[in-house]
Amino acid sequence: MELLNQEGWLFSLRWIHFLAGITWIGVLYYFNFIQTPFLATDLGGEARSAMMRGLVPNALWWFRWGAMFTFLSGWTIVITHMVTGTANMAYYTLILTGGLMGSLMWFNVWFVIWPIQRGLIANANATAAGGEADAAAAARAPIAGRASRTNTLFSIPMLFFMGSARHLTLVSHESPSYGTYLLIMLVVTLLVELNAFYGTAASQKPLASVSGTIWSGFILTAVLFAVASPLL
């Protein structure tokens, strides 16, 4: 049975990776494209407390564990290729472009978004029971919002470069400059990540809207593609 050999192992990992990734990114898009805009309306404001106590905890469970299984299965695929020698440098360069963004997204979920949202859920439960509102928890909410929007931004180039690793020829030069490309890609990607936490009002402005976030994702994809074209 093919599932019991190396090819079957890699296929099973990809299957898990796809399932977990669809779950994760699907909930991410729900939060950013549907829930957050709704909560900004008058009706959404009235429903906020009930949603934070009832709907959001369940959605965040699928969100964070989808992220975890996507992260673990993705890196297991890469490590398997490294151990077995079943991929070349062109593959690693492109898959690691997406993998870096995916790893930052995973970090944002588990160490930024989830801790802040957990505090907001506790605050909603406390106020619903007649307790005092936690002003500190509410003050941290915009940080989680920017991290979530940054994840949405990253998802666009992440999927492009992961898909291109096997299904699009981006590496075509006889002597590709892998190191130069990876260094530029690393710097650009980290600057986008750090902008969510340390950027100025002007640099963070695109993250304030769904359209700005989506356009930023396509622009980042185009920038990295423009860097890759002459170097790879």
Question: What are the structure tokens assigned to 112, written together?
Answer: 């930024």
- Fill in the DSSP letter of residue 174: S
Q: What is the pLDDT of residue 2?
A: 63
H-assigned helices in 40-134: 42-54, 56-84, 89-108, 114-128
Averaged pLDDT in 10-residue chunks for the chain of 232 residues? 76 96 98 94 90 94 98 96 92 96 98 96 88 83 96 98 90 93 98 97 96 98 96 95
Alpha carbon dihedral 38, 39, 41, 45, in 10-degree steps, equals: 140
Structural domains of the chain, count: 1
Domain that residue 224 falls in: 2-231
Q: What's the Cα-to-Cα distance from 101 to each of 26, 123, 189, rounded to whole Å? A: 17, 31, 7
Q: What is the pLDDT of residue 84?
A: 92
Q: What is the pLDDT of residue 13?
A: 95
Q: Which residue pairs from 176-180 have beta carbons closer than 8 angstroms and sit at least 24 positions apart in sequence?
A: 176/89, 176/90, 176/93, 176/231, 176/232, 177/231, 177/232, 178/89, 178/93, 178/231, 178/232, 180/231
Q: What's the Cα-to-Cα distance from 185 to each of 61, 89, 169, rounded to whole Å? A: 31, 16, 18
Q: What is the pLDDT of residue 193?
A: 98
Q: How many CA atoms within 13 Å lie on the side-chain side of 101?
A: 29
Q: What is the pLDDT of residue 195?
A: 98
Q: What is the pLDDT of residue 135?
A: 83
